[in-house]
Amino acid sequence: MSQNLPNMLDNTIAKIREMVDVNSVIGDPIVTADGITIIPISKVSVGFGGGGSDFVSKNVNHHENPFGGGVGAGVKVTPIAFLVIKEGSVRMIPVAAPANTTVDRIVEMVPDTLDKIAAFVDSHIQKKEE
């Protein structure tokens, strides 16, 4: 059996390691002017595969059979959250996935809508009191 396929797989894995490191999952901290530190958190998905075959040589003088094969790989980095460090406390702010359905969009809009209604009611009450 040819050693080409294992070599191709080893080279592909080495290239993936070059592309994806710990900073792909836990990003470099970002420090704002007012002392807040933000650390991005991501999910990394990696997939690869390969295949190959030795072929029978038509030339009798060849001691080795020709080889044909290929290897492919893909890396996907998806942001999932941010760690926010402020005055000694840490909060995790998740990155929401985009809404897929109308119902999801409506559910996402409810908190903002409630905040706007509450602000409107508060301003209306304040005007009456004045």
Per-residue pLDDT tens for 75-109?
Answer: 888 888 899 999 888 998 888 766 677 776 777 77
Hey, where are the domains in the chain? 4-95, 97-130
* pLDDT score for 38: 92
Split at pLDDT 50, 70, 90, the class of 115 is confident
Nearest to 27 by CA among 74, 124, 88, 95: 95
Q: Which residues contact 57 (CB under 8 A, 6 or more apart)?
A: 64, 65, 66
DSSP string, the chain: --SHHHHHHHHHHHHHHHH--HHHHBPPPEE-TTS-EEEEEEEEEEEEEEEEEE---S-TT-SS--EEEEEEEEEEEEEEEEEEEETTEEEEEE-PPPP-SHHHHHHHHHHHHHHHHHHHHHHHHHHHH-
29-51 pLDDT, tens per residue?
999 999 899 999 888 888 877 77
Whole-prediction pTM value? 0.49
Is the pLDDT assigned to residue 64 strictly greater than 60?
A: yes
Sequence-separated contacts (24+) of 121-124 with Cβ below 8 Å: none
